[in-house]
Structure 1
């Protein structure tokens, strides 16, 4: 998914925007991780047949990212 498509299809509610900003700070995530979280959130929303990304979808994607980061740390 291109950046242009992400801006169109990965819109976050205000609470979701605050959640991802907090996660970025606390988990020390990069801009690339931000993009990946948005893409995973969009996929989760699609699997639930949701037109919009909800805070729950975003929280689940952040959780997966945290697990991924732990596995790399070993």
Structure 2
């Protein structure tokens, strides 16, 4: 069974450009994940509302469980 499911919500990891961003999975292939973000993100000078990631890249940048700080 894949760790990825359609419509699952993942959270940008701390220290990445996607920190505090929520990504919802829209499509899954054997190598890629297509997501939409909960807000427009500025990446490399571009405003984007979603993106296609490789599965490995997506797991490096996002976490399935919401990460909370001890100070939240």
Shorter-chain TM-score bucket reads under 0.3
Structure (1 or 2) with the greater strand fraction? 2
- Give TM-score scaled by structure 1 length: 0.26
Structure (1 or 2) with the greater helix fraction? 1
